[in-house]
């Protein structure tokens, strides 16, 4: 039996790495970098190092955990927030790329985002979500 087969046998029934695991690894690398950057301030450096180890141990615990149902629930919960963050990033990127052609407003009553062509003067806008009407200069 070679190493790959032994590892495969060892990992059978365990959680392994998932989206939350990758996120925890990234957080631990960021904390390690912060610990190195603040090496002159020993209190901060040791705090970041301690946090890094805690996050890393949590990540290792999750990878080797046999309670896959619980780990999948944690991963699903994390993934909801991860997805919201990705959608927000996409929204910011879209607003940035369309900023020369469109102006973006928030509805004063429900805070929905409205996109209006630029240079049309003062317009009365109607929110698609709640029907609220308000005037803005475009």
Residues in contact with Zn ion by CB under 5 A are 107, 109-110, 112, 127, 129-130, 132
d(CA 103, CA 135): 13
d(CA 9, CA 5): 6
Task: Calculate Rg over the CA atoms of the chain.
Answer: 24
Q: Which is nearer to Zn ion, 129 or 136 (CB)?
A: 129
Instruction: Quote the least distance from Cβ 135 to Zn ion, whole Å.
Output: 14
Task: Report the largest interatomic distance among the alpha carbons of the chain, rounded to a whole angstrom.
Answer: 75
Instruction: Quote the least distance from Cβ 105 to Zn ion, whole Å.
Output: 10
Instruction: Quote the least distance from Cβ 3 to Zn ion, whole Å.
Output: 59
Q: Which is nearer to Zn ion, 23 or 105 (CB)?
A: 105
d(CA 56, CA 62): 10
Q: Which is nearer to Zn ion, 47 or 116 (CB)?
A: 116
Q: Which is nearer to Zn ion, 59 or 107 (CB)?
A: 107
Angle value at C-alpha 57, between 54 and 59, nearest 5 degrees: 110
Angle value at C-alpha 130, between 129 and 135, nearest 5 degrees: 100
Instruction: Quote the least distance from Cβ 71 to Zn ion, whole Å.
Output: 39
Residue 27: other Cβ atoms inside 10 A: 16
Instruction: Quote the least distance from Cβ 38 to Zn ion, whole Å.
Output: 45
Q: Which is nearer to Zn ion, 111 or 118 (CB)?
A: 111
């Amino acid at each position: 039996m070679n190493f790959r087969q032994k590892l495969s046998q060892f990992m059978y029934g365990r959680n392994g790495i998932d989206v939350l695991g990758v996120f925890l690894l990234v957080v631990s690398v960021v904390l390690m970098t912060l610990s190195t950057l603040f090496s002159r301030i020993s209190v901060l450096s040791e705090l970041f190092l301690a946090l890094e180890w805690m996050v890393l141990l949590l990540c290792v615990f999750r990878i080797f955990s046999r309670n896959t149902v619980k780990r999948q629930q944690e991963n699903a919960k994390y993934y909801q927030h991860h997805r919201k963050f990705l959608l927000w990033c996409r929204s910011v990127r879209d607003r940035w790329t369309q900023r020369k052609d469109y102006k973006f407003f928030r509805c004063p009553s429900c805070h929905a985002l409205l996109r209006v062509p630029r240079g049309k003067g003062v317009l009365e806008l109607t929110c698609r979500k709640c029907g609220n009407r308000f005037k803005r200069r475009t």
